[in-house]
C-alpha cells in the first residue's frame, strides 16, 4: 500500500507544484515507486511545468470510461504522472454504480510506494476534498503576508471540517534560515493558538535563480541543476519524509482515500463560520515579522 501525501497551499505562486514534482523525483531516485497525481483540476500545472501534452486526462477516466493505463504517463524521469483536468467537479453528479466503478479504477494506484497529490491553490471544494481525504498534508508557505493568511484560511477550513491528519509545512522562497524559522514560527503559533492543531516543520527551500531557469527550460530542477541550493533543500525534504515514516500513516488503503474524497465531493462542506466578526487571528497573520 502506498504512502499518500497531499501537497497544497493557500495561494498560487508559492512554488507548490515545483516542490511536489522534485520531491517525487527524489523519492523515485531513492528506489521508491512514485506516482505524482496532478490534482490541480483547473490548470493542470504539472503538464504546463514540464511541457507535457497528455492524450487523456482524469476527466476521460471519470466521464468517458478510459482506464488508468490509458491516462497515466509512465516513467517520466523515473516517476509516473497522472494528469489532471478541468471539469472534474462533475463527479459530484455520478450515479452510485458509476461512482463505484470510479473508485475501483482509481484504486488501481495501489502498487506504488508513494502517491503524491499536487492540488490547486486556495479553498475550493476540489482542494479541500483532497486535503480531507489524506492523513499526511504538506502546506507550502512563503514569507509573503498573503501566503500566510491564505494558508491559515485553508487550515481553518480543514479544522472546521474535522481534519485529523498530520499537518506539515515547507517554507519556500526564503533568503536564509533565520527568515524561514521566523515565518514558520509565526504560522505555527497562529495555528496552535487559534485552531489547536499541531504543525510540523518539514523543511525550507531557499531562494535560488536556478529554480526560474529550470522552469523556463521546462526541466525538473533536481535533474537540470542537481547541485543547486534549491535542489539540496529538496533532497533534505524528501529524506525527512523517508525518515519520518509513520506506520499508521503509511498503511492507508487507496480505496479508503478515494471513498473519503468522493464523500467530500458529493457531500456538504463547511467553508466558513456564519455570523462571525473579523477575527483576531486574521489581524495577526496580516502583520509581517
Q: Is the pLDDT of residue 114 over 50?
A: yes
Helix or strand run (H / E) with residue 35: strand 34-39
How far is it, in rounded angstroms, from Cα 284 to Cα 289?
A: 10
Q: Determine the distance from the C-alpha atom of residue 133 to the mean position of all C-alpha atoms in its chain, rounded to a whole number.
A: 12
- The residue ranking higher by pLDDT, 268 or 188, is 188
In this predicted model, what pLDDT tens digit does every residue of 8-34 receive, in sequence order? 999 999 999 999 999 999 999 999 999
Give the pLDDT band (50/70/90) at residue 98. Answer: confident
Dihedral pair phi/psi, residue 136, rounded to 5°:
-125, 120
How far is it, in rounded angstroms, from Cα 188 to Cα 111?
A: 35
- The residue ranking higher by pLDDT, 49 or 217, is 217
In this predicted model, what pLDDT tens digit does every residue of 206-242 receive, in sequence order? 999 999 999 999 999 999 999 999 999 999 999 999 9
Q: Is the pLDDT of residue 170 over 60?
A: yes
- The residue ranking higher by pLDDT, 54 or 225, is 225
State the pLDDT at residue 61: 86
| Domain enclosing residue 208, as ranges | 3-286
Report the pLDDT averaged over residues 27-45.
87
State the pLDDT at residue 57: 85
Q: What percent of the chain has pLDDT over 70?
A: 87
Radius of gyration of the chain (CA): 18
CA-to-CA dists, residue 125 to 55, 84, 98, 154, 257, angstroms? 26, 15, 21, 11, 16
CA proximity to 107, closest of 212, 260, 219: 260
Q: Is the pLDDT of residue 48 over 90?
A: no
Q: Is the pLDDT of residue 275 over 50?
A: no
For the entire predicted model, the pTM comes to: 0.91
How far is it, in rounded angstroms, from Cα 239 to Cα 269?
A: 35
Computed over every residue of the chain, the mean pLDDT equals 88
Please tell me the total count of domains within the chain. 1
CATH number at residue 58: 3.40.50.300
Amino acid at each position: 500500500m502506498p504512502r499518500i501525501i497531499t501537497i497544497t497551499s493557500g495561494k498560487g505562486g508559492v512554488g507548490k507544484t515545483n516542490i511536489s514534482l522534485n520531491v517525487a523525483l527524489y523519492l523515485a531516485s531513492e528506489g521508491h515507486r512514485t506516482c505524482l497525481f496532478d490534482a490541480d483540476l483547473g490548470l493542470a500545472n504539472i503538464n504546463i511545468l514540464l511541457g507535457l501534452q497528455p492524450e487523456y486526462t482524469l476527466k476521460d477516466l471519470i466521464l468517458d470510461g478510459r482506464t488508468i493505463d490509458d491516462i497515466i504517463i509512465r516513467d517520466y524521469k523515473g516517476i509516473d504522472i497522472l494528469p489532471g483536468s478541468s471539469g472534474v467537479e462533475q463527479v459530484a453528479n455520478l450515479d452510485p454504480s458509476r461512482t463505484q466503478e470510479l473508485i475501483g479504477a482509481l484504486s488501481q494506484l495501489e502498487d506504488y510506494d508513494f502517491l503524491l497529490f499536487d492540488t490547486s491553490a486556495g479553498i475550493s471544494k476540489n482542494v479541500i476534498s483532497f486535503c480531507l481525504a489524506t492523513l499526511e498534508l504538506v502546506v507550502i508557505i512563503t514569507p509573503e503576508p498573503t501566503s500566510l493568511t491564505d494558508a491559515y484560511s485553508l487550515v481553518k477550513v480543514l479544522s472546521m471540517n474535522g481534519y485529523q491528519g498530520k499537518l506539515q509545512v515547507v517554507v519556500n522562497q526564503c533568503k536564509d534560515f533565520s527568515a524561514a524559522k521566523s515565518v514558520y514560527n509565526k504560522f505555527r503559533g497562529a495555528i496552535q493558538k487559534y485552531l489547536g492543531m499541531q504543525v510540523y516543520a518539514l523543511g525550507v527551500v531557499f531562494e535560488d535563480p536556478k529554480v526560474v531557469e529550470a522552469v523556463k527550460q521546462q526541466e525538473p530542477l533536481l535533474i537540470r541543476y542537481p547541485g543547486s541550493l534549491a535542489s539540496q533543500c529538496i533532497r533534505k525534504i524528501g529524506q525527512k519524509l523517508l525518515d519520518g515514516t509513520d506506520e499508521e500513516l503509511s498503511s492507508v488503503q487507496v480505496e479508503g482515500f478515494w471513498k473519503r474524497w468522493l464523500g467530500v465531493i458529493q457531500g456538504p462542506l463547511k467553508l466558513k463560520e456564519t455570523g462571525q466578526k473579523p477575527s483576531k487571528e486574521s489581524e495577526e497573520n496580516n502583520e509581517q515579522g
